[in-house]
Amino acid sequence: MDHTANQMHTFFEPKGVAIIGASRRSMKAGHVIFKNFVINKQRGLFNAKLYPVNPSEKTIQGFACYPSILDIKDEVDLAVIVVPAKFVPDVMREVAEKGVKSAVIITSGFSEVGNHELEKEVTLIAKNAGIRVLGPNCLGVYDSKTGVDMLFLPETKTLTTGDEVVATPRPMEGPTAIVTQSGAFGAAALDYLSGKQMGVSKFVSFGNKADITASEMLSFLLDDERTQVILFYAESIDNGREFMEVARKVTPKKPIIALKVGRSEAGARAAASHTGSIAGSDEIYSSAFKQVGVLRAGDLEEFFDMGKALAFQAPVAGNNVA
């Protein structure tokens, strides 16, 4: 495994995880995310070391809390950052000093709201330290096998009948990976797949794509033994040439099903306002997808139907298919 692949690997199978911004307050994202890891640790699913970081707390859910990541003596190879945007640069400097390989910045308030300079500052800190970053403004990572779960979602929802049920039950382990720019879509996808008894290998929400792009994640998933089908939800693709090169390598081995939003002008504007993306010409996307073997779904229902069909169908040998 090369150095880049090894860093990507730490997002899904870390040895030590610091939740920076872990909280005792139940409505905070830092509380929900830390609780996810604690529950999976209690279940024997998450086996890495876990460290809550918050200078205002002594303990959180029975774990000793650290004022700073620098106070943790053991190695940490993944930092999950859930602090207000203005504090992220200072946190990233400490993450860099600690020698952390990878970071997920859950926090919003960056380029998606016009705060480009703050995002550039954070990206530069990471680049200079050799840290790979998912986000900011993302839902993070879920891995059904290793117990990595950063999904800060409501725990319950009330049905029209008045019954209260689990809001977004985690899907069982399976062959389908979800790669999405939108966290909201990702949550809906997980809910749908769980309801249909469709298994998931990995889920990745990359938000503003300040560092790691969809193309890099698709390339990583090509070599992931647990992933056989990739569901790709895109609002924009920044480097078209890179994407086409990667997709051309992936699609002969693993189908990529794409749902590209923004077919209409109104849709494109909505996508741009959500994650600060620039959607681009819809016709260009359709042509590019076709050239490299990416299957484009026309709508949400078709997107999931195609994913379900391909997850249980062996790939066709050769390319002589009518």
CATH code for position 301: 3.40.50.261
Which helix (H) or strand (E) segment holds residue 100: the answer is: none
Please list the residues that pair with 231 across neighbouring strands: 178, 257
Give the range among 83-92, 117-126, 151-160, 235-244 with minimum mean pLDDT: 151-160
Which helix (H) or strand (E) segment holds residue 205: the answer is: strand 200-205
Indicate whether 164 pLDDT > 90: no
Give the range among 111-115, 280-284, 311-315 with minimum mean pLDDT: 311-315
Contacts of 281 (CB under 8 A, 6+ apart): none
CB 18 within 8 A of CB 105: no
Range of the domain at 193: 153-311
Once rounded to an integer, what is the mean pLDDT over residues 123-148? 97
Q: Is residue 322 part of a domain?
A: no
Greater confidence (238 vs 204) lies with 204
Looking at the fold, whether 175 and 214 belong to one and the same domain comes out as: yes
Indicate whether 302 pLDDT > 80: yes
pLDDT digits (tens, 9 = 90+) for 182-221: 888 888 888 888 888 889 999 999 999 999 999 999 999 9
Looking at the fold, whether 103 and 32 belong to one and the same domain comes out as: yes
DSSP secondary structure letter of residue 18: E
Indicate whether 270 pLDDT > 70: no
Indicate whether 262 pLDDT > 70: no
pLDDT band at 238, cuts 50/70/90?
Answer: confident
Strand segments, DSSP code E, in 66-185 are: 78-81, 102-105, 132-134, 140-143, 156-158, 164-166, 173-180
Once rounded to an integer, what is the mean pLDDT over residues 220-225? 96
Looking at the fold, whether 238 and 280 belong to one and the same domain comes out as: yes
Looking at the fold, whether 298 and 178 belong to one and the same domain comes out as: yes
Domain count within the chain = 2
Looking at the fold, whether 103 and 222 belong to one and the same domain comes out as: no
Looking at the fold, whether 114 and 157 belong to one and the same domain comes out as: no
Indicate whether 157 pLDDT > 90: no
Looking at the fold, whether 164 and 192 belong to one and the same domain comes out as: yes
CB 210 within 8 A of CB 258: no
Looking at the fold, whether 157 and 128 belong to one and the same domain comes out as: no
Please list the residues that pair with 221 across neighbouring strands: none
Looking at the fold, whether 80 and 163 belong to one and the same domain comes out as: no
pLDDT digits (tens, 9 = 90+) for 69-78: 999 999 999 9
Mean pLDDT over each residue of the chain, to the nearest integer: 89
Greater confidence (317 vs 17) lies with 17
Indicate whether 23 pLDDT > 70: yes
pTM of the model: 0.89
Once rounded to an integer, what is the mean pLDDT over residues 125-141? 97
Looking at the fold, whether 206 and 246 belong to one and the same domain comes out as: yes
Give the range among 2-11, 26-35, 189-198, 242-251 with minimum mean pLDDT: 2-11
Looking at residue 314, what is its pLDDT?
56
